Amino acid sequence: MDSEILDVGYIYKITSEIDDKIYYGSTINWKERRRNHNSSSNKCMTKLMCGEREIEVLEQFYNISRQDLKKKERFWIENHNETETGLMLLNKHIPTQTRNEYHKKKYAEKPKLYAAKQKVYYYENQKKELQRNKDYQEKRRGDTWFCVSCAQVYAWTTKKTHIKSKKHLDCVAATTTTESITLEN
């Protein structure tokens, strides 16, 4: 539970001078976490570090929520400057990061690469995507929707066309004018 108040929380970093790598983490049980990082069954990214590792507590907090502890860890990860320190950041997961933030950052870094990947995906899966679209249209063929502005029922498949039509745009303009007149009185 994220709102749970913890007695103590730690932010730590692990560095390897041999291969110039760094990892930031947070924990509530420092001794246990330190032991896990050094064990052979370690599933963390620190397993990619070679040689001796230096483990250091950066911050210690008392009576902190788990969510706030994760935010502190995120601060350290996001403010790590590889150019200044010369250490490659190993953290792949950023705590409290939303899916939207992840994709925004991912596409901002290499927009041409991801645009190219999307094109490749489309060409490799073109038949499947066209079939999926056709199946969706077939499924919705008998469905109808009600346009509030025009006060009419239309076939679902004509929705995009109708919204761009002159008839719909005139109805929307008339509705807006009526509303503004009503609000003035």
Percentage of the chain beyond pLDDT 90 is 18
* Angle (CA) 72 75 77, round 5°: 115
Contact 54, 14 (CB under 8 A): yes
5-97, CATH topology level? GIY-YIG endonuclease (3.40.1440)
**Band of residue 91 on the pLDDT scale cut at 50, 70, 90:** confident
In this predicted structure, what is the pLDDT of residue 185?
41
Compute the average pLDDT of residues 7-12: 93
In this predicted structure, what is the pLDDT of residue 108?
76
User: What are the Cα distances from residue 37, in Å, to 18, 21, 49?
Assistant: 17, 14, 11
Question: What distance in Å separates the CA atoms of residue 21 and residue 87, rounded to the nearest whole number?
Answer: 5
User: What are the Cα distances from residue 91, in Å, to 46, 80, 134?
Assistant: 9, 11, 42
Helices (H) and strands (E) in the chain, counts: 8, 6
The overall pTM is greater than 0.85: no
- Helix or strand or coil: residue 12? strand
- CA 35, 40, 43, 47 torsion-angle sign: positive
Enumerate residues 6+ apart whose C-beta is below 8 A from 38: 53
Determine which helix (DSSP H) or strand (DSSP E) holds 127, and give its type and residue range: helix 126-140
Task: Give pLDDT tens digits for 157-184.
Answer: 788 888 899 999 998 888 765 544 444 4
Question: What distance in Å separates the CA atoms of residue 35 and residue 66, rounded to the nearest whole number?
Answer: 21
Structure tokens at 173: 């303009």
- Structural domain boundaries of the chain? 5-97, 141-184
**Band of residue 72 on the pLDDT scale cut at 50, 70, 90:** very high
- Conformation bin of residue 20: beta by default, left when phi > 0, alpha when psi is -120 to 50: left
Looking at every residue in the chain, the average pLDDT score rounds to 82
